Amino acid sequence: MAILGTAPLGISLPNDVFLSHAEWWNENSRFVLVRFRRRGEMMDLGLRFDLDKLTFLDDTGDPEADQVLQSTSSRISEAVFDTKAA
């Protein structure tokens, strides 16, 4: 299945964790995949994010970054909806 859209994020978290962008494959899905880098390396698996509940279904594997992760939910949601509206 091809990626339908992406929204740039550019959000830095503690311990060199960086949220790069969000991807989606279905325009009507409430879920997106947030791609992230850890110590400069793009991780193979992204973080599933629920746009309706504004919550992550996964964690980064870094406890300090994960404490800050949830506070980014409104920024991620806004970036996705702004990109879809453009």
Per residue in 29-64, pLDDT tens?
Answer: 999 999 999 999 999 999 999 999 999 999 998 999
How many Å apart are CA 7 and CA 20, to the nearest integer? 9
pLDDT at 74 (0 to 100) = 95
Flag whether pLDDT at 86 surpasses 90: no
Of the pLDDT bands very low, low, confident and very high (cuts 50, 70, 90), residue 81 is very high
Q: How many domains does the chain have?
A: 1
Range of the domain at 61: 5-85
Question: In this structure, what token pair is assigned to residue 55?
Answer: 């919550």
Q: What is the pTM of this model?
A: 0.91
Flag whether pLDDT at 1 surpasses 80: no
